[in-house]
Amino acid sequence: MGFYINPPTMSKEAFLAANGRRIRRDEAMEIIKAGVSFPVALIDNGAFTAAAIGYSADEVEYFLRDASGRPIEWWAGPNEKIYEVEPELRPR
């Protein structure tokens, strides 16, 4: 199980719009390698969305290979903002 954006005071979409920027699918791997932002896959599951944080190259690759047919929007969120909603990712 990965890490997901679930802010307590707003929707995932509002959090990404306020704190991130849309990226192209092909930028996701470059973003994780640069280390200043996390790529986020906003996945439309029909009844709900999930905002999966690409915390590692393997995690990003998993969502890049997703063949489920679900629509996925790619976002980049600055590390500090992502740590606010998912403190487990913060380096110790």
Overall average pLDDT of the 27-31 stretch: 94
Give 21-80 as a DSSP string: EEE-GGGHHHHHHHSSEEEEEEEE-SS-EEEEE--SHHHHHHHHS--S---EEEEEEEHH
Q: What is the pLDDT of residue 2?
A: 87
Q: Is residue 4 part of a domain?
A: no
26 within some domain: yes
Answer yes or no: is 54 within a domain.
yes
Q: Is the pLDDT of residue 56 over 60?
A: yes
Q: Which pLDDT does position 1 carry in this prediction?
A: 57
Report the mean per-residue pLDDT for the chain: 93
Domain that residue 76 falls in: 12-89
- Is 32 within a domain? yes
> How many domains, in total, are found in the chain?
1
Answer whether residue 85 is part of any domain. yes
pLDDT exceeds 80 at position 11: yes
- Report if residue 2 sits inside a domain: no
Give the closest residue to 70 by CA, choosing from 54, 90, 50, 53: 50
Q: Identify the pLDDT of residue 46.
A: 92
- pLDDT at position 67 is 75
Whether residue 5 is contained in a domain is answered as no
Domain membership of residue 68 (yes or no) is yes
